Structure 1
Amino acid sequence: MRRRLLGGVLGGALVMAPVGCGIPDRTEVQIEQRGPAAETNSSLGRGSEPPTREASGSDAEAFVRNFLAAAAGEPDRAYERVKRFITVADKVRLPEKQGSEVALSVVRLTDDPMIETDVDSMKVTITVQQVGLLRANGMLVPPLATESTYEFRLVSAGPAGQDDAGFYVSDPPNVLLLSDEALRRYYRAESIYFWSSDRTQLVADQRYLSLAVPVERRVSEVIRWLTAGPSEWLRVGVSGLPDRTEMINNATGADGRWEVNLDMPGADEERLEQLGIQLAWSLRELDGTLEIKILNQPRKEIDLAEQRASFRPYTLDDDPQRYCVYEGAIHPLALANESAGLVPVAAEANRNVVSAGLRRVDEDVLAALVVAGEDGRQRLAIGRGRNGVEVLTSGPDDHAAMGRPVWIRAGVGRSYGLVVADGKLYRFDDQAVIRPVQLGLTGRVSAVAAALDGHRIALIVGGALHVAAISWEGGVPTVGPARRLVTSLVDPTAVDWAGESRLVVAGSVGRPAIYDVSVDGALETPLREDVGTEVTHLAAYPSTPQAPSTPLAGSFMYEANGVSYRSNPYDRIQREQVQDVTPPPAGVRAGTPTAPFFLY
């Protein structure tokens, strides 16, 4: 990493201010054991307001990082806070916007700030990655700016010879910049929920709430987000509140009792019941009661905790099992302190397997296997069974290479899944009917993963990470327009969902690495920064809001260079951990476990 250039006027080594620290200085295993930071969001020990201009003293780099945090907080005061860092003569260079027009350009520093001493000032150059545009409604949308560098100058805030007076910015950028470190520190990533287009499932949508917003206003902010509708990329797969729904005044209440007054056309009992569930989960850190009024008339009172207990967004059994492929067949894995499952596929069908995706549906197991023929060509085979899958139905076509098949955990009636084959995305069903999926993107598809709600997917297309929503209109999944995510990882190779709003992604940061990435790409945490070689297969067991701390929540397994590994802690999966295999004869080299996955 390029180091900052500092003149003698600064003297000595700079001390990094704690304000900008986004990722603790921990070892890889400690980071992994602590859990991905992108969904932790604990504000304990953090200030709700960004630092003042004077906070950095004579530390130039700390001042720059504080300047990149100054816009954080409530939107209506963003310009005021930033202009406190700018010289009087230069304040007019920052055109001011009001209300909903306030937006912050979130950037990720790709290097340390370059600070060069001049005669009476210092030139600052920051090299950035444009992450997104944070709007006043808490939504992070794709970036509009394209700049990869910004330049400005620092001038002393005191008279000549006074080195401890701090600095001001001159020639400032003409936009409000916010570093991703400041986003992590001064905002809370919140999930709000919209009903799926078939109104059977809650689907999470990420927002950012300033920690400066007092708790008594949190209810109002969340309701405003809901009435404004979902993120653009989610619209094809979810239903917003009825058109022209508005909040009448702010929500009121405190100490566990809240009241909200809405103008909501068509607010019948069914809609109010669904709204109550939405609010309970969108305010999931609040307990107590919430009364819903429609045009000043009391209509429904809900106990937030009871409402969450009565409706769970996701259905997961509490006994997930690990499996792998060993010598062409699926086998259970028995790792320390974990019980091994039974082989879910009958021996007659469990042959020539390259990779697999299994799903539990009530008492049945759905199996999607990629199997290889004698010529090495690969084909998808589908089966379903109560006490194990006994018969597989092969798809009509074979391919040179296929990725790990994934089941979509939604829909009524027939079950569907997705698989990548020869650089294209295909949809399959439980009868092995396979159809190509039109994405509207150019480039080769290399990986796909489906969220627990069955209405969102993650994709790697053209060497970039994307997310997209699924519409179930007509009972058949249709993939909507994709949103490209901006991350530090380049050339991603594998992805899966680590949680409701988190992805675990393998790629490169100069060397192969695995990162935890938020669903909008803004928050990322290195999980393993030097894998050693390219990750070709990745499978995770996601955490959920209702069970965030179960033993396997957030765990993942991956394959690199034909060798399989697990997290928690990082360790190679050994042949001895593969169950139901016969040890090879003396002198014969044993196989290695590949393509590990979870059954849940």
Structure 2
Amino acid sequence: MRLLLIRRRRPAAVLLAAALSGALVLSGCGIPDNTEVTKVGRGPSPGFASGDDGAPPRHERDATTDTADFVRYYLEAAGGDPDTALERVQKFLSPSAAATFKAPSEIKVVHLADTPLVNPGSDKVTLKVQTLGVLGHNGVLGPAPDTGIQTYELTVAAITGKDGLFVTKAPPVLLLSDEALTTFFERRTIYFWNHEFTELVPDVRYLPADMPSEQEPQQIIKWLIEGPSSWLKPAVEALPEGTVLLGNVPAVADDKLQINLSAQALEPPDDPKALDRLRRQLQWSLKPNLSRVLELKIGNEEQNDYDSNDYLTSNPTYRLADPPERFLIYNGQIRRMSRTPGATDPVPVIRPEANRNVKAAALAHSPGDRRYAALVAAEGNRQVLRVGDAAMGDQTDLRRVALPGGSTGQPVWAITSDDPQTGAIGLITVAGRLYSFSVDGSPVRAVTWPGPSGWISAVAVAPDGRRIAIVVGGRLYLTAMTADGDGPHLSSPWPVQVPALRSVSAVDWGTETSVLVAGTRADRDRVAIIDTALDGTDSTEPQPDIGTETVTYLAAYPVSPVTGKPSPDVVQYMANGAAFDVLSGPVRIGIGDLADPVTNPPTGMVPTAPFFLR
């Protein structure tokens, strides 16, 4: 079976692709031996109807008499305004089929796992799909139960006295291909504050691409008022109860976007800090729609105008240094890499005498000037964790933390706060289970995994410190983390389907809305690194084939959303005990990449476990 990967594209490219796109995928299976099979392939597009306001071209039912194109257009029909999705789909149905067609209002987004098959002499078309999620009216692509590969049958035929083809029998569901999702919707990010009000946390939504631009701010604010996605809700603050939008959001005039919210939007009332948080949340959520000035009016209070970019610092992904400080482990020591920032500086936090017997490490910084270190170190036949924090430029003694027995994964810092009450919390896997640790050196705590049982092989934390990507039993999940006196807690996980991969072994965040995953390909027994949207709907293949060795560890350095870059510039991984850079092709990291030259290197000693200061 060969799977089609839909590449992440800029909006202009999306419009062109809709007019020029072809067949759905390339392979076949599932037809009896005595039946001739015709594979549905790409054909020339016979035309389309254009929308207004830059809307993507939309194919009508009678635009083709080719079954292949017709099926593709049918799988596009639900894309766009969800309120009229059913009506658009019914236009592809025969009058009798349309009259009896009943389907849930949610749209099921699917990836074609095999080529749609047509039997010559038969009107039936068989679709084998993998469900990626369910798109609701609130723009959230929610998780769908993992039902594996599902089969749907369409009956496609001509009707006497009418032009073109019709679906005369359809499954009772609104189907939308993942390719059509990226064409007829724009992926947008709205933001909610974490519980400490220190950083904004992203929440992905899908905005119909045919929505007039002047209506977009109103829809975004409606989504903010409705609250965060269910899986993210435990980790963030919703807008205060009773918040409403007063009137409509007018079109931008005099380079000013005007928003008027009810007095309940501020909690506590008349709090300047609450007002400042609200306007930063709005500015980030409305960033693609912002003009020079945001005019914000709360209830009957005087309006406030904001025309600076100081709100950008509220997003931790924006604050990441570019390029990153890069480190690795060599001969039991944390070493800096050459040709990177700070290459000649001391290793942060750690005194030289403590930098020994290191197996893996994590370095992080707070929004202020503190730095955090976590080292997995060998002590005889056991491994221990050593943790510490210090002001920027300082070093300190590390605190020893005992670890349970078993193989240990890469430590990662999650919450790093300048507030002593919040402190810093990290995560680490030991023997396939997840544990948390604190910078104060207190004992590690087992973190309950609320999803399906399985060996936890990788955990990666987004720059916001609340969203977690985790690999359990070879499957990828998203979850949100909260912390209280009893330690961290994880929300109900969201399973992420990665159609290109049969199984996943490693993960890290590439942008605030995408991750890089490594694993075994679905179409052959080879290993690949895939860059995918958080919901699995839009992917590229930075490394489609890196051999057969399992990737045991993946480290990416996320890029800021203001750069416009769709993927990270720096990606590293470990396989078969060796470290690699993902550039135009995998490049093995050697001792020549160390900032400090090595004389008389020990035989067989190689750099391992590359990581970043994050």
TM range (shorter): 0.7 to 0.9
* 2:137 equivalent in structure 1: 136
Change (3 A) 1:138 1:49: farther
Which one of the candidate residues 446, 454, 458 is aligned to 1:436? 446
* 2:115 equivalent in structure 1: 112
Change (3 A) 1:545 1:49: same
Pairwise CA distance, 1:105: 0.6
Pairwise CA distance, 1:404: 0.5
Measure, in 2, the Cα distance between the counterparts of 1:561 and 1:158: 64
- Does the 8 A contact of 2:40 with 2:68 survive in 1? no
Measure, in 1, the Cα distance between the counterparts of 2:352 and 2:39: 72
Measure, in 2, the Cα distance between the counterparts of 1:306 and 1:205: 21
Which one of the candidate residues 446, 451, 454 is aligned to 2:465? 454
Query: Which deviates more from structure 2 when the two are superposed, residues 130-139 or residues 345-354?
Result: 345-354
Superposed structure 1 runs of 4+ greater than 6 Å apart = 5-13
Measure, in 2, the Cα distance between the counterparts of 1:250 and 1:502: 33
* 2:320 equivalent in structure 1: 316
Pairwise CA distance, 1:493: 1.1
One-letter amino acid of the structure 1 residue matched with residue 212 of structure 2: P
Measure, in 1, the Cα distance between the counterparts of 2:161 and 2:588: 61
Partner of 1:244: helix, strand, or coil? coil
Pairwise CA distance, 1:341: 4.8
Measure, in 2, the Cα distance between the counterparts of 1:12 and 1:392: 63
Which one of the candidate residues 276, 281, 285 is aligned to 1:278? 281
* 2:14 equivalent in structure 1: none
| Alignment: residue pair count | 561
* 1:558 equivalent in structure 2: 573
Partner of 1:582: helix, strand, or coil? coil
Measure, in 1, the Cα distance between the counterparts of 2:511 and 2:341: 21
Change (3 A) 1:473 1:418: same
Query: Which deviates more from structure 2 when the two are superposed, residues 537-546 or residues 260-269?
Result: 260-269
One-letter amino acid of the structure 2 residue matched with residue 232 of structure 1: S
Pairing of 1:192-341 with structure 2 (within 5 A): 192-255=190-253, 256-265=255-264, 267=266, 268-270=269-271, 271-288=274-291, 289-295=293-299, 297=300, 299-303=302-306, 306=309, 308-309=311-312, 311-314=314-317, 315-334=319-338, 340-341=343-344
Which one of the candidate residues 48, 63, 72 is aligned to 2:56? 48
* 2:503 equivalent in structure 1: 491
- Does the 8 A contact of 1:365 with 1:389 survive in 2? no
Query: Which deviates more from structure 2 when the two are superposed, residues 574-583 or residues 208-217?
Result: 574-583
* 2:354 equivalent in structure 1: 349
Measure, in 2, the Cα distance between the counterparts of 1:298 and 1:478: 39
Partner of 1:252: helix, strand, or coil? coil
Pairing of 1:59-208 with structure 2 (within 5 A): 59-95=66-102, 102-118=105-121, 121-143=122-144, 146=147, 148-156=150-158, 166-208=164-206
Pairing of 1:369-408 with structure 2 (within 5 A): 369-375=375-381, 377-385=382-390, 386-387=392-393, 389=395, 391-408=397-414
One-letter amino acid of the structure 2 residue matched with residue 222 of structure 1: I
Change (3 A) 1:410 1:347: closer
* 2:43 corresponds to 1:15: yes
* 2:482 corresponds to 1:471: yes
Post-superposition CA distance 1:186-228 (Å, at most 9, x none): 1111110111122222111100001100110001100110010
- Does the 8 A contact of 2:40 with 2:117 survive in 1? no
One-letter amino acid of the structure 1 residue matched with residue 428 of structure 2: V
Measure, in 2, the Cα distance between the counterparts of 1:589 and 1:388: 34
Gaps of 5+ in 1: 21-42
Measure, in 2, the Cα distance between the counterparts of 1:458 and 1:13: 36
- Does the 8 A contact of 2:363 with 2:371 survive in 1? yes
Measure, in 1, the Cα distance between the counterparts of 2:553 and 2:68: 40
Give TM-score scaled by structure 1 length: 0.85
One-letter amino acid of the structure 2 residue matched with residue 537 of structure 1: Y
Measure, in 2, the Cα distance between the counterparts of 1:523 and 1:405: 29
Change (3 A) 1:507 1:10: closer
* 2:20 equivalent in structure 1: none
Gaps of 5+ in 2: 2-25
Change (3 A) 1:388 1:351: farther
One-letter amino acid of the structure 2 residue matched with residue 382 of structure 1: V
- Does the 8 A contact of 2:39 with 2:117 survive in 1? no
Measure, in 2, the Cα distance between the counterparts of 1:19 and 1:180: 21
Pairwise CA distance, 1:440: 2.2
Q: Give the CA RMSD over aligned residues.
A: 3.2
Measure, in 1, the Cα distance between the counterparts of 2:575 and 2:395: 29
- Does the 8 A contact of 2:201 with 2:315 survive in 1? no
